[in-house]
Amino acid sequence: MNISPRGIGGPTSILALTMGEPAGVGGELTLKAWHRRKELPLPFVALDNAERLIQLAGKLGIPTPIKRVRSPMQAVEVFHSSLPVLDIPLAEPCVAGQLTSANAVSVINSIDLAVSHALAGRVSGVVTIPINKHALYESGFSYPGHTEYLAKLSGSDVEPVMMLACDGLRTVPVTTHLSLRNVLDALTADLIISQTRITTDALAQDFGLRAPRIAIAGLNPHAGEDGTMGDEEKLVIEPAITKLKEMGLNVAGPYPPDTLFSAALRPSYDAAICMYHDQALIPIKTLDFSGGVNITLGLPFVRTSPDHGTALDIAGKGIADETSLINASRVAAEIAHHRNAPHQAATG
């Protein structure tokens, strides 16, 4: 796989932050992140509703000068003194914590605009604020989530891969939003091979790791214990590992899931390939509940996201923690830097 470094190395070094669910905590996080702008390696432009952010800043007591801008380039110029906003109209006024499908089109418009800027090289990457799938589904949205929709917009023929990351750990779920019952049918050796190859390539290109070390988790207790606790390891996972080794990848496993994420084993690998959603997310959220980052691998542009949801229960209360958004912005900037390195070497 060769991910084209589009969106990086152009004249504008800035990240695009999407609106996310307007009734959630996304607006509050955007405001708080701007107030911590000196901690960020790149500025950002909010693709959001300016009036909503103005009202939210007043309600929460977060005084924030907001500047409507017409382009990412203009946003770079004002970021040091104002929160730049590429204004997205809302269909109806937003009430914190109260979902409405009427504003779903605004949520999608924000994503569409961010991706178009990324593909055109006007922003260095996209940081997506969490969406509420139920509200989008009610409006006719037919994609399982952000990742699948972004893949469609990108035109990429590579299946996107979800990576979760925090300090000291990266995990990749081979299957994502499926019930455990359905995981068994969806899990195949080909899928494990594909996801592991994309992960390995991305670790090299996006994180500068020359020889990524990959640990592959088992599915069953004790990794099946020689078939006595399940045979998926012998029939599916081990053949995939054998094939990956034949391809020259540095992989090992299958490891018992109850020990793979221990402090003793984590330093021995650069990413863990997990068999299902919670196997990948539980260790990340246990280690760093507020600071984890969701990264999409396999796209022709940089995309990260906070590793949490819309938090409707605390929306509008001023208590949402912006750490994950800050970290997502930092990771996006790091990936943009690594993707730009070959471009800089070729043109410098």
Q: Per residue in 201-213, is it b (16+ CB within 10 Å) or e — as a string?
A: bbbebbbeeeebb
Does the pLDDT value for residue 200 go beyond 90? yes
Q: Quote the pLDDT of residue 343.
A: 46
Q: Assign 174 to helix, strand or coil.
A: coil
Residue with tokens 């195949």: 188
Residue 347 predicted with pLDDT over 60: no
Q: Is 262 exposed, middle or buried (0-12, 13-18, 19+ CB in 10 A)?
A: exposed
- Please state, in angstroms and rounded to a whole number, the distance separating the CA atoms of residues 242 and 255: 14
* pLDDT for residue 342: 55
| Domain spans, the chain | 1-157+301-348, 168-287
The yes-or-no verdict on residue 5 having pLDDT over 70 is: no
Residue with tokens 């899928």: 191
Helical H runs in 174-222?
180-186, 189-207
What is the DSSP code string of 275-314?
SSHHHHHHHHHHH-TTT-EEEEES-SS-EEEESS---GGG
CA dihedral 222, 227, 232, 237 (to 10 degrees): 70
Q: 266-301 pLDDT, tens per residue?
A: 999 999 999 999 999 999 999 998 889 999 998 999
CATH class of the domain whose range is 1-157+301-348: alpha beta
Residue 55: pLDDT over 50 = yes
Please give the pLDDT value at position 10: 47
- Residue 137: the pLDDT is 86
DSSP state at residue 18: P
The C-alpha atoms of residue 265 and residue 236 are separated, in whole angstroms, by 23
Mean pLDDT across the stretch 306-316?
A: 91
Q: Which residue has the tokens 């640990």?
A: 215
Strand partners, 255: 217
pLDDT in tens, 316-337: 999 999 999 999 999 999 999 9
Average pLDDT over residues 59-79: 96
Residue 160 pLDDT level (bands cut at 50, 70, 90): confident
Rounded CA separation 29/25 (Å): 6
CA neighbor of 280 nearest in space, from 162, 159, 145: 162
pLDDT by residue (tens digit) across 99-115? 888 999 999 999 999 99
Would 1-157+301-348 and 168-287 be classified into the same CATH topology? Answer: yes
CATH architecture group of domain 168-287? 3-Layer(aba) Sandwich (3.40)
- The candidate with the shortest Cα–Cα distance to 311, out of 137, 130, 46, is 130
- Section 52-72 average pLDDT: 96
Residue 175 has what DSSP assignment?
Answer: S
Q: Give 203's contacts (C-beta < 8 A, 6+ positions apart).
A: 170, 209, 212, 270, 271
pTM, two decimal places:
0.90
Q: What does the pLDDT look like over 208-242, one tens digit per residue? A: 998 999 999 999 999 888 888 889 999 999 999 99
Confidence band of 11 (pLDDT split at 50, 70, 90): very low
CB-based burial of residue 243 (10 Å sphere; 0-12 exposed, 13-18 middle, 19+ buried)?
middle
Give me 92's structure tokens.
């109806």
Q: Above 50 in pLDDT, residue 35?
A: yes
